[in-house]
Amino acid sequence: MTPTQNAGARLAGYRVWDPAKKRWRESKDPTLSMQSVFDRAFKYLLKHGVQKKLWLTQFRDKAQKLDTWWKNVGNTHVRCYAASLLLIWEGDHRQGAAEPANPVLKFIDFAHFHAHKNYPEWAADDTSKGLSTVVVQLERLLGLT
């Protein structure tokens, strides 16, 4: 059973480099709860200083903006089924490493986006629910909830 029903989202996959162990941590298990997914994929960022916590804050801010837009605009204009949210961060935690780029958060897989006016009979798609779940999980990691 996936968390899609209650969270409006599920894991498609994650891959995080663990520099201490010099290997990738990854999962594609769609049955993981959203809390487990975020703990496994993002707690690394909380262990490596202020910059990493800043990235989580930037992810949360970007997810909040997307969630707010979806609630105010997307819900009435778009129907979206099976889209993906891509979260990317890159950086080197070693002393003297170059300044890392800001993290990226964006929708991908637009094959299932449709204008609501073309399909007015289609039910709400839970995209807002899924985006809200992402915001809640990031706030939980940041200690805000």
pLDDT for the residue numbered 91:
67
Q: CB-based burial of residue 24 (10 Å sphere; 0-12 exposed, 13-18 middle, 19+ buried)?
A: exposed
Tokens of 26: 């990854």
The overall pTM is greater than 0.75: yes
Among candidate residues 42, 134, 131, the one with its CA nearest the CA of residue 145 = 134
Stretch (H or E) spanning 4 = helix 4-7
Report pLDDT for 11: 74
The pLDDT score that the predictor gives to residue 94 is 60
Distance CA 60, CA 137 (A): 9
Average pLDDT over all residues of the chain? 83
Domains in the chain, please, with CATH?
10-141 (3.30.470.160)
pLDDT digits (tens, 9 = 90+) for 43-96: 766 776 666 778 889 999 999 999 999 999 998 899 988 778 888 877 665 666
